[in-house]
Amino acid sequence: MSSDWVGCRVSLDCGGLGHFQGIISMVSLDDSSISLRNPFQNGLPCKFPAITLNGSDIQDLRILETKEEVALSESTEKSRSTVIVSEKKRAKPAPTKNGGKDERRTNSALDKRTGGFQPLMSYILENKQSRQSPKHGAEEFRGQPKGGTRTPNRRYKDEDCFSPSVFDINEDFDFEKNLALFDKHTILAEIDQEFANKPDIIRLVDCNRRPPEPKYKNDENILGNFVTEYRQIDTGEVMETEYVTDSGLVVPAISFQLRFRLQERLEDHGFGLSKQTELMGRAATELCLQLLGGQHRLAVNNTHQLPLAVFLCGTSRPAVFGLTAARHLAGHGVRTQVYLPETGTQSGILEQELRLYRLTGGKVVTKAKDLPKGSVDAVVTALEDEEMWSQQRIQPWHRAAVAWAEGLKAPVLSIDPPPELPALNPRMTLVSLLPLAHPAQCGNLYLANLGVPCNVFKEVGIKFASPFGAKFVIQLHSMQQ
């Protein structure tokens, strides 16, 4: 018997729960409930595609459309975006022979449309009737006349205002006249009075209950609050000098002895000077391009004013980095010149980098008197290392190069200098691995990422986490400033 009403569109009055409309998908006598698909509550779509209402909550029921009419409307209109708030509107019938008067739909026609009301209510509310007193039968629900018929509220008033016969394409539409037919204030007052004491809550059965969604404030993080650890590097040493990155991460300074042990472990793993020189050369090139003005100076239409960078190289480890940086910088179209003094002995990797640099067409001089006499845009110093810096500074080639650079106004970049007062005050200083305790006279300190595995740091007793983030070269700020 329940299948007789499945597919009909109905309107349910549930008292304090509000008014519900939808298409019947199931009628159950066992638990005295009715299920609706595509439900609406008080004219608004529900959050669920289907709801189940207890028969004890239903006070009134109206059949708005039969299953045949629902099937016809769904086939012609696949997506319905509005709610049927009253019975389906019908166009006015054509004038008849009895004077051309409009004939309203009679009670017998309405009974034919809603003829299934009494059996359906009796079937759904069977359990409800057993719990109520005998005098409350299915025929005496609120809003249902004893005769079994119902008069639609405001039906004819709505038809007079909105029926198709009102709009005549051959005549100008009178907006003021038709607007006067709609009493907005009265309608809103009726709606407010009807729903003033009704909470906007659906009493759902167990199958429709959902856990409440948490609500967050505008300043609350939904992913949870985690305390950021800014001291992620631990060298195991107690050093007075510590640095901090732009993001707040602490990078401690290390001693010369610890750095020497780290270099030895890198050599054992095959991460020697030949691998480090390319990375340091690229990092030095990135900083040198900043000193030269970047893209504003190296523009396509500015080839007649190409900048000039002079590299002052010694005979030790930083000199290899300087030659590599000169080769990389020449690849960016910058004019370069290398100062490399003649000494009796040179390492094999230094001679190799010198041969590669000569292939760029850059100039190499061995005496300070051959250095440029005119303007220079940037100076890169790689004259000293951590071990031999005191002996290198007393050499004539070192003093001559420093004396030439002191007479210039060009900015200076120092590559991997010793942790001592510099012979030539640079604007930028580039270091690798972890910094030494460099003085403030070394200018802005930058750390290059050589891609050293963290387990190599662990082998020398350093707990290491990368502070570089999305950058290849990061600036370090002294925490003592």
Q: How confident is the model at residue 180 (pLDDT cuts 50, 70, 90)?
A: confident
Over 50: is that where the pLDDT of 98 sits? no
Over 60: is that where the pLDDT of 272 sits? yes
Those residues with Cβ within 8 angstroms of residue 65's Cβ, 6 or more apart along the chain or in another chain: 8, 9, 73, 84, 88
pLDDT at 407: 84
Over 70: is that where the pLDDT of 204 sits? no
C-alpha to C-alpha distance for 275 and 266, rounded to whole angstroms: 10
In a domain, 331, yes or no: yes
pLDDT at 131: 42
C-alpha to C-alpha distance for 248 and 254, rounded to whole angstroms: 19
Same domain, residue pair 360 and 435: yes
In a domain, 228, yes or no: no
pLDDT at 261: 93
In a domain, 168, yes or no: no
Torsion of CA 424, 428, 429, 434, to 10 degrees: 160
High-pLDDT (> 90) share of the chain, %: 34
What tokens does 63 get?
Answer: 């059949």
Select from 208, 233, 251 the last residue of a domain.
Answer: 208
Over 50: is that where the pLDDT of 88 sits? no
pLDDT at 33: 84
pLDDT at 336: 94
What tokens does 261 get?
Answer: 């042990």
Q: Which amino acid is at 35?
A: S
Over 50: is that where the pLDDT of 133 sits? no
Residue scoring higher pLDDT (359 or 103): 359
* Average model confidence (pLDDT) across the chain: 78
**Residue pLDDT, tens place only, 328-355:** 999 998 999 999 998 767 788 999 999 9
Same domain, residue pair 474 and 370: yes
Over 60: is that where the pLDDT of 126 sits? no
Q: What are residue 79's phi and psi, to 5 degrees?
A: -120, 110
**What pTM value is reported for the model?**
0.54
Nearest CA among 431, 407, 414, 353 for reference residue 379: 414
Spacing of C-alpha 87 from chain mean position: 47
What tokens does 414 get?
Answer: 């120092």
**DSSP category for residue 295:** G
**Residue pLDDT, tens place only, 5-40:** 788 888 988 888 888 898 888 888 777 788 888 899
Same domain, residue pair 469 and 326: yes
**Residue pLDDT, tens place only, 140-172:** 334 444 444 444 444 555 555 555 554 555 667
Same domain, residue pair 396 and 255: yes
- Domain with residue 132: its CATH number is 2.30.30.100
In a domain, 226, yes or no: no
Same domain, residue pair 135 and 253: no
Over 50: is that where the pLDDT of 109 sits? no
Same domain, residue pair 202 and 266: no
Find the mean pLDDT for residues 59-74: 84
Q: What are residue 378's phi and psi, to 5 degrees?
A: -160, 145
3-state secondary structure of 10: strand
Find the mean pLDDT for residues 295-322: 84
C-alpha to C-alpha distance for 276 and 300, rounded to whole angstroms: 32
Same domain, residue pair 307 and 449: yes
Residue 39: which region, alpha, beta or left (left: phi > 0; alpha: psi -120 to 50)?
beta
In a domain, 302, yes or no: yes
C-alpha to C-alpha distance for 276 and 349, rounded to whole angstroms: 12
Same domain, residue pair 255 and 138: no
Contact 315, 271 (CB under 8 A): no
**DSSP category for residue 463:** B
Q: Per the structure, how many domains does the chain have?
A: 2
Same domain, residue pair 267 and 203: no
In a domain, 236, yes or no: no
pLDDT at 244: 93
In a domain, 403, yes or no: yes
Domain that holds residue 78: 2-153+196-208
In a domain, 80, yes or no: yes
Nearest CA among 231, 328, 276, 284 for reference residue 451: 276
- The upper half-sphere exposure of residue 280, i.e. CA atoms within 13 Å in the direction of its Cβ, equals 25
Q: How confident is the model at residue 95 (pLDDT cuts 50, 70, 90)?
A: very low
Same domain, residue pair 202 and 279: no
Is the C-alpha dihedral spanning 106, 108, 112, 116 positive or negative?
positive
Same domain, residue pair 204 and 256: no
Same domain, residue pair 203 and 271: no
- Domain with residue 356: its CATH number is 3.40.50.10260
Over 50: is that where the pLDDT of 60 sits? yes
Q: Which amino acid is at 15?
A: G
pLDDT at 269: 93
